[in-house]
Amino acid sequence: MAKQNIYDNKTFFEGYSKLRDREVNANNLFEIPTLKMLLPELKGKRVLDLGCGFGEHCKEYIDQGAVRVVGVDISEKMLEVARTENSDPNIRYLNIPMEDIGSIEEKFDVVISSLAFHYVEDFTGVVSAVYELLNEGGIFLFSQEHPVNTCYSGDGDRWTRDENGTKIHANLANYCVEQRNDSTWFVEGVQKYHRMFSTIVNTLADAGFMILKMAEPFPTPEIHNNYPEYDDLYHKPDFLFVKSVKIPKE
């Protein structure tokens, strides 16, 4: 079955690019700061970035002392930008789906993925491949859409609101039904895969990883004061972060 490559859709790519160009967005306020907080020391390390997109993180990892970075993305449009705007002699960009990373003939000290795993159907297979690509004691850090979001199938309102339209609480349904949910985001038919929190953690444990840290970012007092439109994240976080380490299998 062909892998979804929604980022090479012209309408989607243009919409996503405009969103990321906005100074104030959820990525800049929550996702990127949390990812940076959880990053291990990268000096002298070899890094694999899964779903590298425009390659900004790849360049930053080099700037932080990484000696080698491989960026993987299924979108050629994204990689065109990466190769133009974030190139470096020590960065290699590969246009392959994450499910094919087993073909990479290198070993890494750190594997990082930012907001990509909810697009992957074979999460178990990718996690197993990451384990094989990592050196002993290597770090695996990723973010994804939070499971309380990926369970939303687009049916009905996500929110219960008061008479003024203020969000009172998030509506949750079918959390325990693990499936592909198609949604509309810039275009129709965006495929995302819902997995329960426990499935994500147990998949990592079964593959040979030990969990080091998790994060579910929500507004700080400063963000609350400056950007109250993000207060709905007090009801449900947008993102889940998991940091783990490769340990020997028994």
Q: Can you say whether residue 36 is alpha, beta or left, with left for phi > 0 and alpha for psi between -120 and 50 degrees?
A: alpha
Instruction: List, for residues 22-31, the tens digit of each pLDDT value.
Output: 778 899 999 9
The structural domains of the chain, with segments of one domain joined by +, span: 6-246
Tell me which of 155 and 199 has the higher pLDDT.
199
Q: Band of the pLDDT at 183, cuts 50, 70, 90?
A: confident
Which ranges constitute the DSSP H helices of 154-248? Answer: 197-207, 221-226
CATH fold of 6-246 reads Rossmann fold (3.40.50)
Task: Yes or no: say if 211 and 201 are a contact pair by the CB < 8 Å rule.
Answer: yes
User: What is the spatial distance between Cα 99 and Cα 123, in angstroms, rounded to a whole number?
Assistant: 8
Q: Considering the entire predicted model, what is its pTM?
A: 0.91
pLDDT digits (tens, 9 = 90+) for 211-237: 999 999 999 999 999 999 999 999 999
204, two tokens: 């990592």
At 12-49, the pLDDT tens digits run: 566 666 666 677 889 999 999 999 999 999 999 999 99
